[in-house]
Amino acid sequence: MSTFTSALPIGEVLRSTINTHAGAVASAAGLRERPFGFSRASVHATASVSEPAALRRHPHIVRLRDVEADLDLLIDRAIAAIADGEPVEDEILGHYVHIASLVRAVSFREGKLLEQAVERLAKANPNVTVLTQSLKLPLVKAALEAVSGNDWSCLDGIKLDCEAPAKGSYTPDLIVVNRARHTAYILDLKRSLASYGDTSRLEELKMKMMASAMVLPDWLYKNHKRLMVDTVEVAIVDGASRPSDHATGIWALSEIDDLLDIDGVAACMAELRARFGRRVQQLLEAEARKALGVVEAVVSNAAPASAMPGKPLIALNGPARGYEEEQAIAARDEDDSDYDLGCFDEDQDDEPEPVRIRIGFARRPRRH
């Protein structure tokens, strides 16, 4: 793989050319060179003879029975981490604060569980390397300018120096490198994209991912033992497997077989989420029963012994009163016509004297 450097107004650019052997392999596999862009479903090589050709789409396969124990262990660890969380007292949530804490922990732990499961299942393809640690990719200023000022389809083939001046960084969930295809995927796994809705957060995420893709070849070469790729693609994987849109980088989790070049990954991930969901629901149900039991105990202890059935007491704003007493008080309030109209005196219509208004940060009031 030969590399040459050319100077552009937006910064130093590295362009790579594929050697003859790699090009021949790509042509034989029916692949088109895509140095940069959103991930696409690729044309796959001939499957091995262990499965009928009609049922195989990829040269490698993973079966649930072979990885079931490992996936269950990942689920156990995630559930233990969720249950071990210590919630902070909240006056509004009260006895239900533990449930709210569990829900927040589930959102975080499910994302981590998906990442760990993909890393484990990717081992079925010996040509795939999954990077999970120290993935802080620099957001090179030239890359951000290129992405924000151009149509992304025009950026094919542009590769930037990862050590060029940067403006922040982006940390993907996973970087998947297929050494046989010389392709790297920048993956961001989301438990669900429903929370993104029509907000601009999704577009901002895509911008960061595309800018990172422009420096990834140089970053891999310099930081991961001269690992070389000639194609970088980005994909936001929706764990809820809603309809995908590959043209904008959105992939359903049910399509992840194509990203790892392995049959059976999507089925294993679906079973993983189903088992994790059952465990989470059991945990929430147990915590809800506990919270309801505490509330019922508090209510029963606070109820007066003289409470009569059919005569509920109202004690929202003061001493307990019967329903008839509350109605009588409300009727007296409606008939009361002795309103204080002093606030409408004509003397108060005069224009107030100008006063000096202080503007600044809040301060503790002085004591007299």
Q: What is the pLDDT of residue 165?
A: 93
Confidence at residue 131, expressed as pLDDT on a 0 to 100 scale: 95
Q: Read off the tokens for 282.
A: 């059991």
CB-based contacts of 278-286 (< 8 A; 24+ apart in sequence): 279/75, 279/79, 280/79, 280/82, 280/102, 280/106, 283/79, 283/82, 283/83, 283/102, 284/99, 284/102, 284/103
For all residues of the chain together, what is the average pLDDT?
Answer: 77
Does this model's pTM top 0.95? My answer is no
In this predicted structure, what is the pLDDT of residue 241? 83
More confident site: 149 or 78: 78
Alpha helices (H) in the chain, listed in sequence order: 20-28, 64-83, 97-121, 141-149, 201-223, 256-260, 265-302, 323-335
Of the pLDDT bands very low, low, confident and very high (cuts 50, 70, 90), residue 18 is very low
pLDDT in tens, 79-122: 999 998 788 888 888 888 889 899 999 988 999 999 999 999 99
pLDDT value at 197 more than 80: no
pLDDT at 248: 87
pLDDT reading at 341 higher than 60: no
8 A C-beta contact, residue 229 and residue 216: yes
Supply the pLDDT for residue 342: 52
State the pLDDT confidence band at 328, using cuts at 50, 70 and 90.
Answer: low
CA 17 to chain centre: 35
User: What is the DSSP code string of 94-141?
Assistant: GGGHHHHHHHHHHHHHHHHHHHHHHHHHGGGSTTEEEE-SS--EEEEH
Taking Cα atoms as reference points, which of 279, 295, 291, 298 lies closest to residue 99?
291
pLDDT band at 19 (very low <50, low <70, confident <90, very high): very low
pLDDT at position 43 is 43
